[in-house]
């Protein structure tokens, strides 16, 4: 799960409210909620922590040469 917020609307609580509802809906129907963000995106990581997510690992993306 991840939430995108335009710069003009960041810090207003919209991302938190949206993610909280989506997380509860997912859990309510038996899904496993996962939060993903790019490394270094501390705002996203803090939001996930506020929502109760626990960091269990790190996802790495690579670009392969052709």
49-61 in b/e form (b: 16+ CB < 10 A) is: eebebeeeeeeee
Confidence of residue 33 (pLDDT cuts 50, 70, 90): very high
Mean per-residue pLDDT, 32-46:
91
Count of structural domains, the chain: 1
From CA 53, how far away is CA 35, in angstroms rounded? 7
Residue 37's domain comprises: 1-66
Percentage of the chain lying above the pLDDT 90 cut: 64
| pLDDT value, residue 12 | 92
Contact indicator for 37, 45 with CB cutoff of 8 Å: yes
∠ CA(1), CA(50), CA(14), 5° rounding?
65
- Chain-centroid distance of CA 26 in Å reads 13
What predicted TM-score, i.e. pTM, was given to this entire model? 0.80
| pLDDT value, residue 30 | 97
Over 80: is that where the pLDDT of 2 sits?
A: no
Two structure tokens written together for 55: 């960091």
């Amino acid at each position: 799960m991840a939430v995108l917020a335009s710069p003009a609307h960041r810090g207003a609580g919209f991302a938190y409210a949206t993610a909280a509802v989506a997380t509860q809906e997912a859990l309510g129907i038996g899904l496993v909620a996962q939060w993903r963000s790019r490394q270094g995106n501390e705002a996203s990581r803090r939001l996930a922590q506020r929502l109760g997510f626990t960091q269990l690992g790190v996802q790495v993306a690579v670009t392969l040469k052709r």
